[in-house]
Amino acid sequence: MDLDDKLDLLADAAQYDLCATFARGGRRFTPKAASWAAPEADEPDRRARPVFRVLMSSQCAWNCAYCPLRAANDVPRAALEPEDLARSFLPRYEAGAVQGLFVSTAVHGDVGQAVGRMLDGVELLRTQHTYTGYVHVKLLPGVATSDLERAARLADRLSLNLEAPSAAHLARISPERSWNTDLVERLVWAREWMRAGMVPSGLATQFVVGAAGERDVDLLGTGSWLYRELGMRRVYFGAFRPITGTPLEGAERTPHARVQRLQQADWMLRQYGFAHAELPFADEGDLPLHLDPKLAWALAHHERFPVELNTAGPEELLRVPGIGPTSVQRILRLRRIHPFRDLSHLQSLGTQAAKARDFVTLEGRFFGRPRAELDRAYAPRPIVEQLPLF
């Protein structure tokens, strides 16, 4: 198998890893569609950064119930040698097609062998080829202390995927891993290297949403703890998709709307000052699918609204649906020059004025809808099942 054929397999396999789906300018990207590149960005309002994404190997010794690369699956496999990584990445980097590297691997042999081969490839780039650009290394559960230190010295960002929000949930889909020892303990080690001044782009992890029967309250509770205690830079959410040949092939696929709501709620935790306990979970522990969670929170707290746009503090403004951190800074700056008096002023901020107008006053004037009308407008709609056509 030549290098291009290997890359076809390994780039496809990489889509199941961290942040499997990306978008730039409204267009979805897959690794092959962008010459094995996909954007990697920390925040929704920042320009996505294209990175070359590849697995060092798709040969795996483990049998995770959700994974298409599990050992029991009879699928084509490929592996790169350390020098193959440079041969694959550098021409695209030098041509300006990509601006960095994301590298991961399946458990080829054992964890130590697989991680060692991957880090050998990164080290060749750093030393023999004097590459000084961005590298994101995704480590394996149970990685040795020495390999984790080596990765911290070589990479700009490290990730280690928890996949599930607790030990009990992980045991349902990947009993070969210990959630506490193989994953959380390793993330604690990585945090210490980050505190020592390494890993400048921080730590990241991912959950497979819906594979283990977890609720949104579980995912966001663990995510909140990761931000607070481990200094996690970013938690990603990937939708579970049943794969033929796995034990979960008959399970229900996770709707994209659920992942979207989790991402929005995660943004509320990281950027809007919300606590986990404030998120608008339903009785069963999930977020409403029909509403942005920030809007759902506001609708459940009528007593907090409307707020006066010309006098409210930044913490109050951040809780207004349709107003984000950038808009808050503009409001604080512009209202010192002239007060906001009508909807055209609000719309000029770039906010989603259709949402914000229902929750603010401008010089004491309210331009929104009455509370009863607002509740009706955002009430859940029954799902109408389409009948087959004959």
Within-domain flag for 43: yes
Q: Are residues 238 and 311 in the same domain?
A: no
Choose among 189, 205, 102, 212: nearest CA to 142.
189
Q: Are residues 240 and 325 in the same domain?
A: no
Look at the chain and count its residues. Answer: 390
Q: Are residues 223 and 338 in the same domain?
A: no
Within-domain flag for 21: yes
Q: Are residues 198 and 331 in the same domain?
A: no
Give the residue from 252, 269, 287 where a domain finishes: 252
Q: Given this model, what pLDDT does residue 24 score?
A: 30
Q: Given this model, what pLDDT does residue 44 score?
A: 41
Q: Given this model, what pLDDT does residue 186 score?
A: 98
Q: Given this model, what pLDDT does residue 17 score?
A: 58
Specify the DSSP element, H or E, that contains 371. Answer: helix 371-377
* Residue 15 pLDDT class (50, 70, 90 cuts): low
Q: Are residues 222 and 308 in the same domain?
A: no
d(CA 162, CA 233): 14
d(CA 285, CA 291): 15
Over range 107-111, report the average pLDDT. Answer: 94
239-258: buried (b, 16+ CB within 10 Å) or exposed (e) per residue? bbbbbeebebeebeebeeeb
Contact 121, 56 (CB under 8 A): yes
Give the residue from 252, 274, 289 where a domain finishes: 252
Which residues form the domain of 348? 302-377
* pLDDT tens for each residue of 321-355: 999 998 999 999 999 999 999 888 888 887 677 78
Share of the chain above pLDDT 90, in %: 75
Is the per-residue pLDDT at 19 higher than 70?
no
Q: Are residues 106 and 174 in the same domain?
A: yes
- Strands in 234-239's sheet, in edge-to-edge order, are 37-40, 49-55, 100-104, 134-138, 157-159, 203-209, 234-239
pTM of the predicted model as reported, rounded to 2 decimal places? 0.87
What CATH number is associated with residue 174?
3.20.20.70
Tokens of 28: 């979805």
Q: Are residues 29 and 177 in the same domain?
A: yes
Is the per-residue pLDDT at 126 higher than 90?
yes
* Residue 11 pLDDT class (50, 70, 90 cuts): confident
Q: Given this model, what pLDDT does residue 208 score?
A: 95
Contact 187, 203 (CB under 8 A): yes
Q: Given this model, what pLDDT does residue 382 score?
A: 59
Q: How many domains does the chain have?
A: 2
Within-domain flag for 41: yes
* pLDDT tens for each residue of 257-289: 999 999 999 999 999 999 999 999 999 999 999
* pLDDT tens for each residue of 232-258: 999 999 999 998 889 999 999 999 999
Q: Are residues 350 and 203 in the same domain?
A: no
Is the per-residue pLDDT at 136 higher than 90?
yes
Q: Are residues 209 and 72 in the same domain?
A: yes
* pLDDT tens for each residue of 29-40: 333 333 344 445
* Residue 13 pLDDT class (50, 70, 90 cuts): low
Q: Given this model, what pLDDT does residue 349 score?
A: 81
Give the residue from 235, 252, 269 where a domain finishes: 252
Within-domain flag for 270: no
Q: Given this model, what pLDDT does residue 23 score?
A: 29
Within-domain flag for 143: yes
Q: Are residues 84 and 225 in the same domain?
A: yes
Over range 126-152, report the average pLDDT. Answer: 97
* Residue 225 pLDDT class (50, 70, 90 cuts): very high
The chain-wide mean pLDDT, for the chain, equals 88
Within-domain flag for 27: yes
H-only helix segments in 241-352: 256-271, 293-299, 314-318, 325-334, 343-347
Within-domain flag for 357: yes
* pLDDT tens for each residue of 30-83: 333 333 444 455 544 344 558 899 999 999 999 999 888 898 988 889 999 999
Over range 189-212, report the average pLDDT. Answer: 96
Q: Given this model, what pLDDT does residue 35 score?
A: 38
Tokens of 250: 């008959």
**First-to-last C-alpha distance (Å) of the chain:** 49
Over range 373-385, report the average pLDDT. Answer: 76
Say how many CA atoms lie within 13 Å of 20 toward its Cβ.
Answer: 19
Within-domain flag for 162: yes
Q: Are residues 217 and 115 in the same domain?
A: yes
Q: Are residues 306 and 197 in the same domain?
A: no
